[in-house]
Amino acid sequence: MQKGQIRVQTENIFPIIKKFLYSEHDIFIRELVSNAVDASQKLKTLSSIGEAKGDLGDLRIDVTIDKEKGTLTIADKGIGMTAEEVDKYLNQVAFSSAEEFLEKYKGQSEANIIGHFGLGFYSAFMVSDKVEVFTKSYKENSSAVRWECDGSPEFIIEETDKAERGTSIVMHLNEDSKEFLEPFKVKETLDKFCKFLPVPVFFEDKQLNNTSPAWTKKPSELTKEDYENFYKELYPFSETPLFWIHLNVDYPFNLTGILYFPKIKQSYEIQKDKIQLYSNQVFVTDEVKDIVPEFLMLLHGVIDSPDIPLNVSRSYLQGDPNVRKINAHITKKVADKLEEIFNKERNSFEEKWESLGLFVKYGMMTDDKFLEKASRFFVMQDVNGKFYTLDEYKLATETLQKNKEGKQVILYTTNPVQQDAYIQHALAKGFQVVKMETLVDAAFINNMEMKWADTIFTRVDADIADNLIDKSDTVESVLSKEDTEKLKKLFEQPQDNLHIQVEIKGLNETAPPVTATRPEQMRRMKDMAAIGGGMASFYAQMPDEVTLTVNGNHPVYKNILASPNEEQQEKLVQNLADLALLSQGLLTGKNLTRFINRSVALIEQH
């Protein structure tokens, strides 16, 4: 038997490791099982080059609980260790690594991937009063060895009886960690960290992991069903995804993975943090913010890369050249895939646009390189269901929908039902109206107007006449100058919280008697004010600016102006004005109450 003291300057490093890693209490299972996988993989390698003799047997990892003894054991059948190797790796190398680790990353709470420092084994002391290691090397004529340590710098190494090659780590769990004597807790942790490890992991005589997950295979080896089945394995209760992108890069960095586009019918169904990051099939985290571009955080799936510096703080991660390259590569792959589907299966692409549009618009706003590519496959759906790319829309509207500065005007609706009267009026004039009705569209429109210098967006119920060169429905007015002035005065009755401007025009008889429109930019400010704070509150308090465009040629005014009862004239005109305001959602409070009372009174008179 050899007794000794671990050569370490820190008086007692175990409490520091425990405290440092306490935030992820179950991480020790990942670290120890990962070490067991490494030991198994190394044996395979040595066997393949002839250094390890004999039959490898059933390479597997077994996790077992002994409630009576209060122990949790993780055992492998890998390369094992000799007494000299135990002394070297457990008593010397790991502790020099421990000091380096603590010196470099003290105070950085995210530095939790301790395995990269050779510290994985010592995570066992997070949960143990005492740790025993039973090991036997693959080398011929090796004796089995037992190592024991109770969390102080003292250790014991002695020969022991162990028939099989490999290593068993026996943790005598401390009082705070008795939960790991419960099968459901151990299984839950194994499922979290070890679901796709390349060596079989057994618990309670059942294999828990898929050793060959889809992302480790070549795309040519996989069918559509394989990809969909793997998605179900990752997200058992989700709908079948729209499609997927298989990542497979070996230069200038290593990266594999599968990214899935989920179905999203409503913006509020968005779920972030659904991409899992692995390193050589070991689960690391589902916080992949710096590795995956922000707009693709809505995707689901798996990324596996041994080249991502996992043991450093996020601020360092952002600046790492490999991370930047991986981020740019993922963006390019996604853009290329979307363009490929658009070009080859446009109908299918358009059918999926309700879900896809969210990704594409978000990407166009936040990533200029993606914007450049996306302009080729970004589409807009008009109110009749037809889809246009930006270039197709410009071609279809270039003669009618230009403003005074020569900019292309994209007419849009945010609510086809509520804005139907305006839509029908626009369609009758030959305009093309597209739908912009998702939560992201308001920000998208503002953003694209800054990026597309030759294009502006105007909502269909805005002051279109100010933005479009359009005289198509203007004809000579049938009203005399005196009647025009009288009608204008009747319409200029004050309304609470509204700043109303009246214009009398000679329009076709079929045009509405009066239309309420608002300046596009002011309406946008008011809409933003409704959901924002700060400067937005200034706009929220301002009265709404409304233009009432009165069609002096509509037959209703001939009858109203012919009435000898001025009070009746005033009521009828106000009702027409209120109906126009109602269509814009601007008739509220006392204004709405007056409209209802006035309408009832007019009905009673007849």
Residue predicted with more confidence, 527 or 53: 53
The H-or-E segment that residue 546 falls in is strand 544-551
**Closest-CA residue to 69 (of 187, 170, 205):** 170
C-beta of residue 100 within 8 angstroms of C-beta of residue 12: no
User: Do residues 177 and 29 both lie within one domain?
Assistant: yes
Neighbours of 568 (CB within 10 A): 13
- What is the spatial distance between Cα 360 and Cα 349, in angstroms, rounded to a whole number? 12
147, 180, 207 - which closes a domain: 207
- What is the spatial distance between Cα 371 and Cα 359, in angstroms, rounded to a whole number? 12
pLDDT classification of 158: cutoffs 50, 70, 90: very high
pLDDT of 9 higher than 60: no
Number of domains in the chain: 4
pLDDT for 138 equals 92
pLDDT classification of 541: cutoffs 50, 70, 90: low
Q: Which of 301-310, 397-406, 432-441, 546-555 has the highest mean pLDDT?
A: 432-441
User: Do residues 144 and 252 both lie within one domain?
Assistant: no
pLDDT for 464 equals 64
pLDDT of 446 higher than 80: yes
- What is the spatial distance between Cα 41 and Cα 215, in angstroms, rounded to a whole number? 19
For helices 520-531 and 441-451, give the axis angle rounded to 10 degrees.
130
Average pLDDT over residues 591-604: 83
Q: Determine, yes or no, domain membership for 370.
A: no
**Closest-CA residue to 576 (of 559, 593, 595, 590):** 595
Average pLDDT over residues 323-331: 84
Start-to-end C-alpha separation, the chain: 113
User: Do residues 78 and 201 both lie within one domain?
Assistant: yes
Query: What is the percentage of the chain residues whose pLDDT exceeds 70?
Result: 83
CATH (domain of 458): 3.40.50.11260
434, 467, 500 - which closes a domain: 467
Q: Determine, yes or no, domain membership for 406.
A: yes
pLDDT for 182 equals 96
User: Do residues 302 and 269 both lie within one domain?
Assistant: yes
pLDDT of 473 higher than 70: no
**Closest-CA residue to 462 (of 504, 509, 425):** 425
Residue predicted with more confidence, 64 or 531: 64
pLDDT for 109 equals 41
User: Do residues 45 and 162 both lie within one domain?
Assistant: yes
467, 492, 511 - which closes a domain: 467
**Closest-CA residue to 591 (of 512, 503, 493, 525):** 493
**Pick from 313-327, 479-493, 496-510, 549-563: least confident:** 313-327
pLDDT for 403 equals 82
pLDDT for 18 equals 58
Residue 400 structural domain:
378-467
pLDDT of 330 higher than 50: yes
Whole-number mean pLDDT of the chain?
82
pLDDT of 420 higher than 60: yes
- What is the spatial distance between Cα 422 and Cα 474, in angstroms, rounded to a whole number? 17
What would you measure as the largest C-alpha separation in the chain, in angstroms? 121
Q: What is the DSSP letter of 177?
A: G
Length of the chain: 606
Instruction: Map tokens 């004010």 to a residue.
Output: 529
- What is the spatial distance between Cα 60 and Cα 74, in angstroms, rounded to a whole number? 11
